[in-house]
């Protein structure tokens, strides 16, 4: 039983170390817009997308291309795990401010 617990602990440590190697890219929501509107990310690699909402109102990060949908409350942030992506463009928008909150990830 002790050996099983040690193995489980080593697996947890290995997965934690692997997640530490995942690059983080930031998107900022301010004045109901994403900044930057275009964000370049690497092809074929998992990544973390840190979405920081500097507006007092909530926004919903929505992307059919990335199959992601997540609310970011006002003056807070979220982390979205993505990838690995193939080369191309992946659109996203703010569900609550579609007329201004538009952007895309470009995997190169």
* Span 10-57, pLDDT tens digits: 555 554 555 568 999 999 999 999 999 999 999 999 999 999 999 999
- The structural domains of the chain, ordered by start, are 22-107 (2.60.40.420)
| 46: Cβ contacts below 8 Å, ≥ 6 apart | 22, 81, 82, 83, 84
Of the chain, the end-to-end C-alpha distance in Å amounts to 47
User: Is 0.75 topped by the overall pTM?
Assistant: yes
């Amino acid at each position: 039983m002790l050996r099983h617990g040690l193995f489980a602990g080593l697996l947890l440590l290995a997965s934690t170390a692997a997640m530490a190697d995942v690059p983080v890219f930031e998107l900022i929501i301010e004045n109901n817009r994403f900044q930057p509107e275009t964000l370049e990310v690497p092809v074929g690699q998992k990544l973390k997308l840190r979405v920081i909402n500097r507006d007092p109102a909530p926004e919903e990060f929505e992307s059919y291309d990335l199959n992601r949908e997540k609310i970011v409350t006002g003056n807070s942030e979220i982390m979205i795990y993505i990838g690995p992506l193939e080369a191309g463009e992946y659109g996203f928008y703010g569900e609550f401010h579609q007329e201004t909150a538009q952007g895309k990830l470009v995997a190169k």
